[in-house]
Amino acid sequence: MSDFQKDNVALMCDIGELVGLFDFDAGLDAFLSKAVSTVAWHMRAAVCSIYLFDPDTADLVLHANQGLNPAMIGRLRLKIGEGITGMALQEMRPICEARATDNPHFKYIPGSHEEKFISFLAVPIQRKMNPVGVITVQDPQWNYFNNNDIQALRVIASQLAGVIENAHLLVHIRDTAANQESVAQQPSATAARFGPGTHCIRGQWASGGMAMGLSTRIGHYLLRSAVEQTCPLDLTEADFDRAVAITERQLLDLQRRLEEKIQDAASMIFGAHVLMLKDEAFSGEIRNQIRAGKNPWTAILDEVRHYADMFSRSPNPALREKVLDVEDLGHRLLHNLSAPTLAGTGPDYTGQIILTEELLPSDILKLAAEGAAGLILLGGGQHSHVAILAKALQIPLVISTDLRLLQLPEQTPILLDAKEGQIVINPGPEAVQTMQELIRSLADSERLAAQARDETFTRDGTSIQLLANLNLVSELDVALRVKAQGIGLYRTEFPFIVRSTFPTEEEQYQGYKSVLDRMKGLPVLFRTLDVGGDKALSYYPVQHENNPFLGLRALRFSLRNPEIFKQQLRAMLRAADGAPNAKIMFPLVASLDEFLSARDLAETCARELKSEGIPHWMPELGLMIELPAAAMLAPELAAAADFLSIGSNDLIQYLLAVDRTNNEVAAWYSPHHPAVLRTLAQIVRAAVPTGKPISLCGNIATDPQMLPFLLGIGLRTFSMDPTAIPAVQQIISRIDISEAEQQAEKMLSFGRQEEVIRYLSTITS
């Protein structure tokens, strides 16, 4: 069967939706049954099976199947290493056979009815480096499955791993709750919750942007009884009429103000509110109930709930979205009826991420005015009123179906990448710092773009190349707006840090390819995974290190975990196909041996991809000089590598034995130290005879005092935060290379840091 008849892209999307809609009450096996049916349909495969690993017996147990004997479900067990399926889990790699019986590990299972199926593909499911299970597909056609199928099934396996983990977590919670007498009075105790550590949730983007803050929930009052509210008993029909009048004025004012920003959309939203308020079937019925003796507060709640229930049960999506309108209207009426009784009236939402099942349209404006950082909606749709308002008001909004978010404790730290539809719960310090920088970059990009020029020249006409540092694909917009001449450092670890499991090869490939496509031939330097130190992966089990900055980090981590490293290298090599602008560099190299080991592994990946028939290209391979050991070996490293990049931040840290994140010793972290100056000059001098390109990446490249020195020792390429490019361009335009060379020579002659600082003050005063 030809590839175009299969629909692997739709398969991955449908599985993604299936994961989001997982019904815990129906159970894990019901979900897995849907999953095998979905996979088999899209891959046009005759058979799909999912085996789960039983840690108690160390067996693989068949939990779901389509195409084989259904009686085998729950009964078929395989040991790790047994059959093609067991071998895939043992070796933690996909196994694809044109004819299954040709594989020496093939094992026929009597009674399974698999004798007519020839092609076989098995992909392991793993979570946090632990075995979870295996997903397999089979078909009667010889050589039916190809590399596209392998990559698709890898993505599916990654998604399934997360669901299976969540299901096991829920079972644990329910088992625990069953032993507690208070469960009946506290139904929320059995609700699924996030475990400790960082969690990454994928949702639907609704309004792009980045945000970070502490979680909070709003709008609970409609779900509670009137008794639970501090309902004032002395309210009258006159109070209700006054509340209606105030509400109408507020709605008209909201409509007017929003029309200035989003024109027709605002009038449609709040025009409907006003019409409903004047409708006798709504406000007239409330008034009738008040006249019959019902408290106005209770009458409003009852009627709002009645309309909300009626709209929510409608098969018409447009009517279902009216739930937001009627609840917004009820909120305003209650607030205007007796604001002091409404708990949480007028809170300040500055710096908070709002979590809610049903976000009300007017809440968007209120939250924007009160400084809310971002919004997470548990329900709704990308084209709902709230999405339209959020886009107009430039508030990041993600729509999610993961109801565990509703169980988050108040004030839980959250990162929101609304462009990618990603929610990060309890992020680590590195993720927070990077997101802070990213948010600042996005906020300033428009203003800075007008100042940037296409090319950078010194006063005497020497061309200088300014590249951008990149953390996420979504940051590309900033780099392009400020006219960066390429990406000098793509920190590939950030997509690892914000997730709750390792990204698959296919997911990494798609990300790297999108960067290369957007840069349209401009250079892109992908730095391989740099974790460890202050950049921990919450889902990777590591032993406590007394000195993590000197521990298992960066290239050491990758070489210690070759399967993780190979997935990343394979993804980069695949993305480099047809993209000669791609380059790969290895971080924190301490020796020539380490660089050669990394290069050998990249070449191994290239050979594997070639044997598998997967398009790829071996890009230039370079390294970052960040350690004193690498600086001493700069001549040998320059001869072996295709290019060098000086990582000045870490180089200064390790040269001076100063943790740059420690405020207690921050004063000792200085680029003006004579050892730093001489080391930088030594590295550049080592690279010049080889003719290999050399660049510098780090904060020192944005220092107006240090830029002449850097140019004076021979550096011509710098990589930095994209927002710094316009200002650096202006500084460079005032520098003459011959003068910079003289200044650098003078600075290199000093033996004391005080002399360097005094000299710099004289030439910049």
**546: its two tokens:** 């007394």
Annotated active-site residue 385? The verdict is yes
163 by DSSP, 3-state: which? helix
Q: Count the Cβ atoms, other than its own, within 10 Å of residue 83.
A: 21
What is the bridge-based pairing of β-strands 717-720 and 644-647? unpaired
Rg of the chain's alpha carbons, rounded to an integer?
30
Cα–Cα dist 84/514, whole Å: 35
Cα–Cα dist 548/530, whole Å: 13
Residues whose CB is less than 8 angstroms from the CB of residue 256 and which lie 6 or more positions away in sequence, other chains included: none
Task: Please name the residue ranges forming H helices in 263-295.
Answer: 264-278, 285-291
Instruction: Identify whether the C-beta of residue 478 lies closer than 8 Å to the C-beta of residue 441.
Output: yes
Instruction: Identify whether the C-beta of residue 240 lies closer than 8 Å to the C-beta of residue 290.
Output: yes
Cα–Cα dist 21/27, whole Å: 12
Cα–Cα dist 48/35, whole Å: 9
545 by DSSP, 3-state: which? coil
672 by DSSP, 3-state: which? coil
Only one residue has tokens 């009738």, namely 288
Task: Please name the residue ranges forming H helices in 612-736.
Answer: 628-632, 634-640, 648-656, 674-687, 707-712, 725-732
The residue from 42, 63, 385, 672 that is catalytic is: 385
The string of DSSP codes covering 10-25 is HHHHHHHHHHHT--TT
Buried b / exposed e along 555-590 (16+ C-beta atoms within 10 A): bbbbeebeebbbbbbbbbbbbbbebebbbbbbbbbb
Q: Assign 3-class secondary structure to 701-717.
A: HHCCCCHHHHHHCCCCE
Strands in 509-634 per DSSP E: 524-527, 582-586, 620-625
Cα–Cα dist 403/399, whole Å: 11
Q: What region, left, alpha or beta, does residue 310 occupy, with left being phi > 0 and alpha being psi -120 to 50 degrees?
A: alpha
Cα–Cα dist 120/136, whole Å: 7
Please state the φ and ψ torsions of residue 298, each to the nearest 5 degrees: -65, -35
Cα–Cα dist 131/646, whole Å: 39
Cα–Cα dist 351/435, whole Å: 14
Cα–Cα dist 219/457, whole Å: 56
Number of alpha carbons in the 13 Å side-chain half-sphere of residue 686: 24
Element containing residue 659 per DSSP (H, E): none
Only one residue has tokens 């959309």, namely 265
Is the sign of the CA dihedral 20, 23, 28, 34 positive or negative?
negative
**350: its two tokens:** 């500055």
Instruction: Identify whether the C-beta of residue 627 lies closer than 8 Å to the C-beta of residue 651.
Output: yes
Cα–Cα dist 409/244, whole Å: 35
Give Cα separations from 51 to 122, 138, 140, 649, 734 (angstroms): 10, 14, 21, 47, 66
Which amino acid is located at 116 in the chain? Answer: K
Annotated active-site residue 48? The verdict is no
Give Cα separations from 617 to 642, 681, 693 (angstroms): 15, 34, 20
Give Cα separations from 500 to 354, 433, 703 (angstroms): 22, 18, 37
Which residue numbers are catalytic? 385, 697
